Amino acid sequence: MNILRLALCVHGARAISTLTVETTSGPVTGLINGTTPNVAQFLGIPFAEPPVGERRWLPSVAKSRDGHIDATRFGLGCPQFQGNGSSVWATDAPQFNTPANTTGEDCLSVNIWAPWQHNGTEGLPVIAWIYGGAFQTGAGNIEYQNPSQWIERSQKHIVVGINYRLNIFGFPNAAGLQDDEQNLGLLDQRLGLEWIRDNIASFGGDPARITLWGQSAGAMSVDYYNFAYPTDPIVHGLIMDSGNALLQLGSNDEKHTNFTFVSNHFECGNLSASSEIDCMRNVSSTAIISYLKSYSDTKATPALSFNPIVDNRTKFANYTARALAKDFTQVPAIAGTTSMEGVAFAPYPNPPSAAPNITIANTATLDLFLCPTVKTTHNRHAVSAMTFRYLYAGNFSNIAPLWWEGAYHSSELPLIFGTSGIARGESTPFELEVSRKMQDFWLAFAEDPVDGLPKMGWEAYTPENDAVLIGYDGAVTQPIAESKVEAACDGAAGKPGASPPS
């Protein structure tokens, strides 16, 4: 811990009152806009050296101190592509997607939203956000994931978003790399958190009160992190929305055939492992992404997959055994799912007014999200690690415009970020009530992961307790028996086609 950070921890830090701030990356200047005049925004601050040229497909390294940084606009999202098919997100709610033409390889940055000229004398709790997107897509400039309105309302916390590498750039699984160098996107997340730890006091935050929050692949990343850094977690609480380390999404390509398949297209095949990756470093990221998109869009075979691999450093194969051995951070966690996760993963119906295949949808809800969350909660409870469990069941037409969509995967995010009313009509009064309650839950946990939620009536998991059911049947919150949440994952009820709780 450097002397400056130690002094700020001991004596408290006044929240941000200047738009030019010294950081380990160099001085940064942010902005305030007229929409949220009580929020200081510092966007696109590089936390790592650009992962380009010879640094492509290597672990990220901390950004050296440089000249003045203009932090008034978002940095680039990491290279990625969207498929060309219809989906809930692409067709009905595109505000979940990375805006077009905003990506590039020099993408490792953080975005900070902090109360402007807050009058407190102590550092504020910090929520570090990791976006989802199946490790293929996601960025810091997604419309539905901008916390400005949330910070404007609370004036009590800071949100920091971390950009990390994706798909073949973040998870290459290339023969020319060591096993512990394959999950580059996960290593990016750790370096981003180290930057937050070392710099957030200068923005009015408390480095001793950092909560790590992610959704979907971001939630998987949070739990991977939970097991990867048990003795040096940096964070004091975890929030896992619709995902955890038990969710089966990864790569088992032990012979590195996917990377070599792509390298063959660019005439980098039939080389030694090291020469192959050196050759691919000379191919433009745009060309690589364009090829992957065209290959995916035509549904060519073999299918290509670039996801986290088991490297026994950032991802492990034995999470239940590690949990029962207490080989994880053991900090408190929020863990939950939406009631209709899977409707977004079933084939999109044609016409859209028709319902998707409910068996496929329910199987995805249970097998991918609810039941892994139940198992994770049980593992944590077995070793007395505190877990607060929720089920989100909100159904709001400006987020879910088709009658069958309901509380689909990701649909809770606009309510937490405070962006539910930015498209397809303003939010209803009830929708705003649900939004504020979820924001208050997340903030209470960030302020005090042990006692914050119980003070609001949300008790930690035990088999006999209730979870919190959010946004269902006209009630902002209501209790739902943990046994009811778990019933669909118990024995025969958990077979494909069983219904999720509601």
**Catalytic annotation, residues:** 216, 341, 409
What residues have CB less than 8 Å from 129, skipping those under 6 apart? 145, 147, 159, 160, 161, 162, 213, 214, 218
Encoded tokens for 42 = 């510092």
Cα distance between residue 100 and residue 81, in whole Å: 9
DSSP state of 53: G
Query: Pick from 168, 169, 104, 115: which is nearest to 141 by CA?
Result: 104
The three-class DSSP label of residue 92 is helix
Q: How far is CA 317 from CA 27, 114, 197, 248, 492, in A?
A: 42, 38, 29, 11, 26
Tell me if 165 sits within 8 A of 188, measured CB to CB: yes
**What span, in angstroms and rounded, lies between the C-alpha atoms of 152 and 116?**
9
What gap in Å lies between CA 235 and CA 207, rounded to an integer? 8
Check if the beta carbon of residue 233 is closer than 8 Å to that of residue 331: yes
Tell me, what DSSP letter sits at residue 33? Answer: -
297-334 CB burial, b ≥16 within 10 A, e <16: eeeeeeebbbbbbbbeebbbeebeebbeeebbbbbbbb
State yes or no: cis peptide before 147, omega within 30 of 0: no
User: How far is the C-alpha of 13 from the C-alpha of 394, rounded, in Å?
Assistant: 38
CA gap 405, 343 in Å, rounded: 6
User: Is the CB of residue 411 less than 8 Å from the CB of residue 338?
Assistant: yes
Residue 468, Cβ density class (10 Å: 0-12 exposed, 13-18 middle, ≥19 buried): buried
Take residue 463 and report the two structure tokens written for it. Answer: 């088999």
Q: Inter-axis angle of helices 285-297 and 257-265, to 10 degrees?
A: 110
Count Cβ neighbours within 10 Å for each residue of 208-223 and write b for 16 or more, e otherwise: ebbbbbbbbbbbbbbb
Containing H/E element for 388? strand 387-392
